[in-house]
Amino acid sequence: WPAYAPEIDAILRLKRERNAVVLAHNYQTPEIFYGVADIVGDSLALARKAAETEADVIVQAGVHFMAETAKLLSPDKTVLIPDVRAGCSLAESITPEDIALLRQRYPDAPVVTYVNTSAAVKAASDICCTSSNAVTIVESLGAERVIFLPDEYLGKHVARQTDVEIITWKGHCEVHERFTGQEIANYRENHAGLQVIAHPECPPDVLDAADFVGSTSQMIGYVRDRRPDRVLMVTECSMSDNVAAEVSDVEFVRPCNLCPHMKRITLPKIRQSLETLSPEVTVDPGVAADARRAVDRMLAAS
Ligand code: 13P
Ligand code: SF4
């Protein structure tokens, strides 16, 4: 990408000077994903790799909850998020007070919390999960029923794969909730032989219409391994751009739903973040230990 070369060169130099790594979620734009990222992946992979890195500085090219998770697992490192406004509608949908009320109502049910939540919500939970390990985590608890927060559609998707009773919340991803089953049917009608693969944050009628459902990395793995002639990735649209750069023999049909939060992260902001070592992400010490315990329990069980 010649237009991006000066920014990319500056970031590569700054990474060396700061002993920094850039983590990029699968939804980042190709110039970030391929140009400056050291570690890429879904939420689970980023959480794991953040814990392993020996860098002094972590730049999170993702959203705020991902940066908080990195800080929880690497409390002695400087964790930067290039734009503090990079939030998540799921993380906004639930508070620790909501969890306290749910626990009163269902005292026998442990709380499984999707990583797309604040550190304070993680701290109020028993264990975290991601889209790639949710069923394993739910079943690891040995409970008859669990409270699963905050993504209603992911919760319903899990419920269809387990005998454990799943109590859901009404949180939704603002990107995935916009897809509809009718839209998928229209794509199939207009594109013969189309394989449809969807993220479990999509509504149930979309998941019913899909050939495969999985986390962002599982979706990428499906395309890499199976090489469908034509594929529709029902998720944030930068992911298709990243995978298309890798598998030139696959045709990508692209609905484009952008995550406005992910898109706040740009090369100039990553550069500025490394220059100024800000904005730094910190976690309230009052919740950090309990939040870390919920994430560590997930890593141990998945
Ligand atoms: P993954 O864990 O599948 O990467 O999902 C994260 C996310 O924010 C999806 O919208
Ligand atoms: Fe949150 Fe949805 Fe954006 Fe993922 S795509 S970060 S779940 S708003």
Give the pLDDT of residue 256. Answer: 82
Same domain for 145 and 10?
A: no
Cα-based torsion angle of the residue sequence 224, 228, 231, 236 in order, rounded to the nearest 10 degrees: -10
For range 100-119, the mean pLDDT: 98
pTM (2 decimals)? 0.96
Q: Which helix (H) or strand (E) holds 105?
A: helix 96-105
Give the pLDDT of residue 302. Answer: 85
Q: Convert the pLDDT of each residue in 53-87 to its tens digit.
A: 999 999 999 999 999 999 999 999 999 999 999 99
Per the DSSP assignment, residues forming a β-bridge with 237 are none
What CATH number is associated with residue 114? 3.40.50.10800
Nearest-angstrom CA–CA distance, 186 and 27: 25
Atom of ligand 2 nearest to the CA of 259: 3
Q: Is the CB of 29 under 6 A from ligand 1?
A: no
**Binding site annotation covers 189?**
no
Centroid of ligand 2 to alpha carbon of 174 (angstroms): 7
For range 287-296, the mean pLDDT: 97
Same domain for 94 and 67?
A: no
DSSP string over 108-133: T--EEEESSS-HHHHHTSSEEE-TTT
Same domain for 74 and 61?
A: yes
Same domain for 164 and 210?
A: no
Same domain for 142 and 185?
A: no
Same domain for 125 and 161?
A: yes
What is the ipTM, given to two decimal places?
0.97
Which domain range does residue 70 map to? 2-86+263-276
Same domain for 13 and 157?
A: no
Tally of domains within the chain: 3
Centroid of ligand 2 to alpha carbon of 108 (angstroms): 30
Same domain for 40 and 106?
A: no
Nearest-angstrom CA–CA distance, 126 and 109: 10
Same domain for 33 and 81?
A: yes
Atom of ligand 1 nearest to the CA of 26: 4
**Binding site annotation covers 187?**
no
**Binding site annotation covers 115?**
yes
Same domain for 130 and 169?
A: yes
Q: Identify whether the C-beta of residue 44 lies closer than 8 Å to the C-beta of residue 6.
A: no
Report the SS3 class of residue 10. helix
Confidence bin at 153 (pLDDT 50/70/90): very high
Nearest-angstrom CA–CA distance, 103 and 206: 31
Confidence bin at 47 (pLDDT 50/70/90): confident
Q: Is the pLDDT confidence value at 220 over 80?
A: yes
Same domain for 206 and 62?
A: no
Q: Is the CB of 130 under 6 A from ligand 1?
A: yes
Q: Is the CB of 116 under 6 A from ligand 2?
A: yes
Same domain for 145 and 292?
A: yes
**Binding site annotation covers 118?**
no
